[in-house]
Protein backbone atom coordinates (compact mmCIF):
# COMPACT_ATOMS: atom_id res chain seq x y z
CA UNK A 1 0.00 0.00 0.00
CA UNK A 2 2.97 2.28 0.44
CA UNK A 3 4.16 2.03 -3.18
CA UNK A 4 1.34 4.06 -4.81
CA UNK A 5 1.70 6.78 -2.16
CA UNK A 6 5.43 7.10 -2.81
CA UNK A 7 4.89 7.00 -6.58
CA UNK A 8 2.34 9.83 -6.34
CA UNK A 9 4.67 11.87 -4.12
CA UNK A 10 7.41 11.62 -6.74
CA UNK A 11 5.26 11.99 -9.85
CA UNK A 12 2.83 14.66 -8.67
CA UNK A 13 4.82 16.25 -5.86
CA UNK A 14 8.47 16.76 -6.71
CA UNK A 15 9.26 15.33 -10.15
CA UNK A 16 8.61 18.52 -12.12
CA UNK A 17 10.40 20.86 -9.74
CA UNK A 18 13.72 22.16 -11.01
CA UNK A 19 15.09 22.35 -7.46
CA UNK A 20 13.91 18.83 -6.61
CA UNK A 21 12.22 18.32 -3.30
CA UNK A 22 11.81 16.02 -0.37
CA UNK A 23 9.63 13.09 0.57
CA UNK A 24 9.24 12.03 4.19
CA UNK A 25 7.83 8.69 5.34
CA UNK A 26 6.69 8.35 8.94
CA UNK A 27 4.98 5.59 10.89
CA UNK A 28 3.68 5.50 14.43
CA UNK A 29 0.74 4.85 16.71
CA UNK A 30 -2.33 7.05 16.62
CA UNK A 31 -4.41 5.79 19.53
CA UNK A 32 -5.37 2.23 18.64
CA UNK A 33 -4.33 2.65 14.98
CA UNK A 34 -1.10 2.38 13.05
CA UNK A 35 -0.50 5.60 11.11
CA UNK A 36 1.72 5.65 8.02
CA UNK A 37 2.32 9.02 6.34
CA UNK A 38 4.00 10.05 3.12
CA UNK A 39 4.62 13.80 2.88
CA UNK A 40 6.05 15.55 -0.17
CA UNK A 41 7.30 19.10 -0.50
CA UNK A 42 5.50 19.80 -3.78
CA UNK A 43 2.88 22.39 -4.62
CA UNK A 44 0.04 20.51 -2.93
CA UNK A 45 -2.86 18.39 -4.15
CA UNK A 46 -5.16 19.60 -6.88
CA UNK A 47 -7.94 17.72 -5.06
CA UNK A 48 -7.29 16.85 -1.42
CA UNK A 49 -9.52 13.80 -1.12
CA UNK A 50 -8.99 10.11 -0.55
CA UNK A 51 -9.47 8.06 -3.67
CA UNK A 52 -8.88 11.09 -5.89
CA UNK A 53 -8.90 10.53 -9.63
CA UNK A 54 -5.92 8.19 -9.69
CA UNK A 55 -6.09 4.43 -10.02
CA UNK A 56 -3.34 3.90 -7.42
CA UNK A 57 -5.14 5.87 -4.70
CA UNK A 58 -8.51 4.34 -5.57
CA UNK A 59 -7.00 0.83 -5.38
CA UNK A 60 -5.30 1.65 -2.08
CA UNK A 61 -8.59 2.89 -0.59
CA UNK A 62 -10.42 -0.21 -1.84
CA UNK A 63 -7.73 -2.53 -0.44
CA UNK A 64 -7.90 -0.83 2.96
CA UNK A 65 -11.70 -1.17 3.05
CA UNK A 66 -11.46 -4.83 2.03
CA UNK A 67 -8.83 -5.69 4.65
CA UNK A 68 -9.98 -3.51 7.57
CA UNK A 69 -13.53 -2.33 6.88
CA UNK A 70 -14.31 1.05 8.41
CA UNK A 71 -11.15 0.85 10.54
CA UNK A 72 -8.82 1.24 7.54
CA UNK A 73 -8.71 4.49 5.65
CA UNK A 74 -6.67 6.67 3.36
CA UNK A 75 -6.60 10.43 3.89
CA UNK A 76 -5.08 12.94 1.46
CA UNK A 77 -4.60 16.56 2.51
CA UNK A 78 -2.66 19.68 1.67
CA UNK A 79 0.25 20.55 3.96
CA UNK A 80 -0.08 24.16 5.19
CA UNK A 81 3.45 25.17 4.07
CA UNK A 82 3.10 23.42 0.69
CA UNK A 83 3.00 19.81 -0.30
CA UNK A 84 0.70 16.85 0.19
CA UNK A 85 0.23 14.41 3.05
CA UNK A 86 -1.12 10.93 2.36
CA UNK A 87 -2.03 9.08 5.55
CA UNK A 88 -2.99 5.42 5.96
CA UNK A 89 -4.67 4.37 9.19
CA UNK A 90 -5.17 0.71 10.08
CA UNK A 91 -6.01 -0.96 13.39
CA UNK A 92 -3.09 -2.05 15.57
CA UNK A 93 -3.47 -5.62 16.64
CA UNK A 94 -1.18 -7.51 19.01
CA UNK A 95 1.33 -9.78 17.29
CA UNK A 96 0.70 -13.47 17.59
CA UNK A 97 3.16 -15.25 19.84
CA UNK A 98 5.39 -17.69 17.97
CA UNK A 99 5.35 -21.18 19.39
CA UNK A 100 8.74 -22.67 20.17
CA UNK A 101 9.02 -25.91 18.38
pLDDT in tens, 68-96: 999 999 999 999 988 999 999 999 977 77
Host domain of residue 35: 2-91
Q: Which of 7-11, 44-48, 87-91 bottoms out in mean pLDDT, i.e. has the lowest?
A: 44-48
CATH number at residue 44: 3.30.565.10
Q: How far is CA 90 from the centre of its chain?
A: 11
pTM of the model: 0.80
Q: Is residue 37 part of a domain?
A: yes
Q: Is residue 56 part of a domain?
A: yes
Q: Is residue 66 part of a domain?
A: yes
What band does 49 get if pLDDT is binned at 50, 70 and 90? very low
- Contact residues for 72 (Cβ-Cβ < 8 A; gap 6+): 64, 65, 88, 89, 90, 91
The secondary structure of residue 72, as a DSSP letter, is -
- Is residue 25 within 8 A of residue 50, CB to CB? The reply is no
| Burial of 6 from C-beta contacts in 10 A (0-12 / 13-18 / 19+) | middle
User: How many domains, the chain?
Assistant: 1
As a whole number of angstroms, the distance between CA 62 and CA 66 comes to: 6
Q: Is residue 23 part of a domain?
A: yes
Amino acid sequence: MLQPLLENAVRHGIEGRAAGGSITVRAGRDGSALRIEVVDGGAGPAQARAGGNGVGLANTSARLRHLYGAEGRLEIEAVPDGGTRARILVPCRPARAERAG
